[in-house]
A and B are shown apart, each in its own frame.
Chain A
Amino acid sequence: MASYNLTHLKQLEAEAIFIMREVAAQFEKPVLLFSGGKDSIVMVRLAQKAFAPAKIPFPLMHIDTGHNFVEALEFRDDMVKKIGANLIVRYVQDSIDQGRAQDEKGPNPSRNGLQTITLLDALEEFKFDAAFGGGRRDEEKARAKERFFSHRDEFGQWDPKNQRPELWNLFNGRKNPGEHFRVFPLSNWTEMDVWQYIASEKMEIPNLYFTHKREVVVRDGALLAKSDFITLLNGEKYEERIVRFRTVGDMTCTGAVESTADNLDDIIQEVASARQTERGTRADDKRSEAAMEDRKKQGYF
């Protein structure tokens, strides 16, 4: 008999495409949350594959904190133009101006938590009933218990102790009016899988992921990029280092790593020998042992 084996990447791809099609079929108005980071770029690629030769049958949406890397925004706009997708942007700054959210105080105020307010408002504004996220279970331990189809109540909240069991290929997207789902097609992917997929698909990613010179400040062991959103503390100064980013989030909480990796193969080698998780560079997760769970319960990505 012929050999009918699929490699693990092909299996993960098939699973993610299945999930995306399931959402398009079960929901009235899905949206894909897009940040310009590598996971959301992979998501867009998978969405193209799921519905080809038709266009992606749902819009992309970016919740802009105002603290983005310029490179990530440029990449986002280029990509959207190239694939002819419909992009919606909603701004945390608008939520602040409307008095619905308030900036944190301190030397590196994070707008990470504030995104939730803008996100939930935007979901309601457009009546989206399913929002794709690029979250993976290997990222963080609260995510390890996340479902592919994650139910959110009318307040957008996650109830981790009362999740719907998911069996076989059978996904239950039924809900009451006002409720929605977060859907995570990359649930079973690891950081390594994402990089391998980017390499095997020859995908473009923002330059931030490759080595470059950048002025950074060392704070709590993290290398934070120079930006208008960071206030130097006593004794701190910017210095030039050869760095790249393992994740791309807000400038105030995404740390760089020192690296000379200038191509995907080198990055993959680096990931293979890394002894820190990628979220180890994220100051937002270090706030407490349950930081991610708490944010997720309130409706975070």
Chain B
Amino acid sequence: MNTEIEEKLDSQKYLEMDLLRFTTAGSVDDGKSTLIGRLLYDSKAIFEDQMDAIEEVSNRKGKGYVDLSLLTDGLRAEREQGITIDVAYRYFATPKRKFIISDTPGHIQYTRNMVTGASTANLAIILVDARKGVIEQTCRHSFIASLLQIKHVVVCINKMDLVDFKQEVFDKIQQDYKDFASKLSIPDIRFIPISALLGDNVVDRSENMSWYEGSTLLHTLENVNISSDQNFVDARFPVQYVIRPQSDEFHDFRGYAGRVEGGVFKPGDEVIALPSGFNAKIKTIETIDGQLDEAFPPMSVTITLDREIDISRGDMLVKPNNQPQNSQDVELMICWLNEKKLVPNGKYVIRHTTKEARCIVKEVRYKMNINTLHRVEDDTTIGLNDIGRILIRTTAPLFYDSYTKNRFTGSVILIDEFTNETVGAGMII
């Protein structure tokens, strides 16, 4: 076959590719950087000049191998200290899919960073060292994946080369993990025995583990079905911005711009605006390229209504027969992101969909021990990287769904009123 033709990228196919966002969790020694480096390298997402640069640095530092972690550790301080400080985003594509990796550090500030990376991920890769099996950290990472409602988890049992590619090792770890994960809510868990260093079962099938009949990691990432992960049932449209051209041509145009965060909207649909409670029908769904027959998540569109009602940023369009919860008292699982501890009875700015309000922390119910999944009720200080359950009261009612029902209408951030920093990430119960 003519390889030139074979290699020629089918541009039409590229336009039909979908997108998978995944996060990777593992500790310093689990081989996470090596795994990412291999995915990037084998999918040709690493370029010659990048490879040359890290080869040169690896040699200069006297390493006997090309240190692929230098690719992901982008900041000077990270390279100097040999650690990853912050979530790094990496990109690669195969003819089937485009991938966004949020690569989160395994050790310091692990919770804060993993929660951040997980908040937008469809899938999590959890690395387990075949020699060590399921350890505390595996549980921690899995709990966070479950809490953040990542629907697909791929447990990569790495360094199989160091346990002679033995099936018993793989089977034991798989069973241990399943026993533990029964306490979590992750609907789709897969296990793959790999060697990131040698490449076994990463992109190419392993010749050393003929007993493994499942897919390689890349094949799994390319084929996992994520189309039903979004909520297409409960119609939610938080209004982001009101478009009023005030030009002669569009004198009376009044459009509500936003992103569909749930369900499907069509022209003619009866909608209700919250908090006002006024009804209207959708007249058109506008884009610059023409009107649409329907809008669904995560599209950014502009909706016009058949009558003028008072709607502004922070309001929400929903269907009259399917409304979100509406309350000023909200229970949250909170992950604390800041060195300044959560202040009981403290006041914070809260951001939920496109709405901003203020809130007071009424009560800390408990703190989670995220290694054992036990609730700690006698120590309720919530500091950096802690996860706990709290009750807040907001200055204005929120229109929300539980986080398990909808990630985007069920999540909030808390902001320090004085430093303006984002200090807490909350998932509504």
Interface residues of A (CB under 8 A from B): 1, 3-15, 17-18, 21-22, 24-25, 48-55, 137-138, 140-145, 160-161, 163-170, 172, 174-176, 187-188, 190, 192-193, 196, 199-200, 265, 268-269, 272-277, 280, 289-290, 293-294
Q: How far in angstroms is the closest Cβ of chain A from B253? A: 6
Chain B residues contacting A275 (CB-CB under 8 Å) are 47-48
B192 at the interface (CB under 8 A from A): no
Question: Considering the complex of A and B, which 9 residue pairs feature the smallest CB-CB distances, nearest first?
Answer: A141-B74, A8-B19, A54-B245, A52-B288, A17-B300, A280-B49, A167-B119, A174-B420, A8-B98
State the main secondary structure of chain B at its contact with A: mixed
Contact of A165 among B245, B353, B412, B422 (CB under 8 A): B422
Asked if residues A280 and B47 are in contact (CB atoms below 8 Å), the reply is: yes
B91 at the interface (CB under 8 A from A): yes
- A265-B75 Cα distance, complex, nearest whole Å: 35
Q: How far in angstroms is the closest Cβ of chain A from B47? A: 5
Given contacts A8-B19, A15-B298, contact A54 B250 (CB under 8 A): yes
> Per-residue 0/1 for B130-157: is the Cβ within 8 Å of any A Cβ (1 yes, 0 no)?
0000000000000000000000000000
Chain A residues contacting B72 (CB-CB under 8 Å) are 141, 144
Asked if residues B413 and A172 are in contact (CB atoms below 8 Å), the reply is: yes
Chain B residues contacting A175 (CB-CB under 8 Å) are 420
- A170-B297 Cα distance, complex, nearest whole Å: 16
Asked if residues A22 and B240 are in contact (CB atoms below 8 Å), the reply is: yes
Q: How far in angstroms is the closest Cβ of chain A from B401? A: 13
Asked if residues A144 and B116 are in contact (CB atoms below 8 Å), the reply is: no
Q: How far in angstroms is the closest Cβ of chain B from A173? A: 9
Q: What is the size, in residues, of chain B's interface with A at 8 Å between Cβ atoms?
A: 87
Chain B residues contacting A22 (CB-CB under 8 Å) are 240, 354
Chain B residues contacting A200 (CB-CB under 8 Å) are 15
B302 at the interface (CB under 8 A from A): yes
Asked if residues A8 and B91 are in contact (CB atoms below 8 Å), the reply is: no
Given contacts A167-B413, A168-B408, A289-B79, contact A276 B47 (CB under 8 A): yes
Asked if residues A52 and B230 are in contact (CB atoms below 8 Å), the reply is: no
Chain A residues contacting B286 (CB-CB under 8 Å) are 52-53
Chain A residues contacting B407 (CB-CB under 8 Å) are 168
Q: How far in angstroms is the closest Cβ of chain A from B387? A: 14
Chain A residues contacting B244 (CB-CB under 8 Å) are 54
Contact of A55 among B79, B87, B245, B296 (CB under 8 A): B245
B276 at the interface (CB under 8 A from A): no
Complex: chain A residue closest to B86, CB-CB: A145
Contact of B300 among A1, A14, A53, A163 (CB under 8 A): A14
Chain A residues contacting B16 (CB-CB under 8 Å) are 7
Asked if residues A167 and B408 are in contact (CB atoms below 8 Å), the reply is: no
Asked if residues B240 and A25 are in contact (CB atoms below 8 Å), the reply is: yes
- A224-B132 Cα distance, complex, nearest whole Å: 54
Chain A residues contacting B127 (CB-CB under 8 Å) are none
Asked if residues B313 and A172 are in contact (CB atoms below 8 Å), the reply is: no
- A143-B74 Cα distance, complex, nearest whole Å: 8
- Cross-chain pairs A/B with CB under 8 angstroms, 7 sampled: A54-B243, A54-B246, A141-B88, A145-B89, A165-B422, A172-B351, A294-B76
- A27-B90 Cα distance, complex, nearest whole Å: 29
Q: How far in angstroms is the closest Cβ of chain B from A140? A: 8
Complex: chain A residue closest to B109, CB-CB: A165
Complex: chain B residue closest to A176, CB-CB: B420
Chain B residues contacting A269 (CB-CB under 8 Å) are 8-9
Asked if residues B116 and A293 are in contact (CB atoms below 8 Å), the reply is: no
> Per-residue 0/1 for B161-193: is the Cβ within 8 Å of any A Cβ (1 yes, 0 no)?
000000000000000000000000000000000
Asked if residues A52 and B287 are in contact (CB atoms below 8 Å), the reply is: yes
Asked if residues A193 and B98 are in contact (CB atoms below 8 Å), the reply is: yes
- A170-B264 Cα distance, complex, nearest whole Å: 22
Chain A residues contacting B289 (CB-CB under 8 Å) are 49
- A21-B313 Cα distance, complex, nearest whole Å: 11
B126 at the interface (CB under 8 A from A): no
- A13-B288 Cα distance, complex, nearest whole Å: 13
Complex: chain A residue closest to B8, CB-CB: A269
Chain A residues contacting B119 (CB-CB under 8 Å) are 167-168
B299 at the interface (CB under 8 A from A): yes
Complex: chain B residue closest to A169, CB-CB: B408
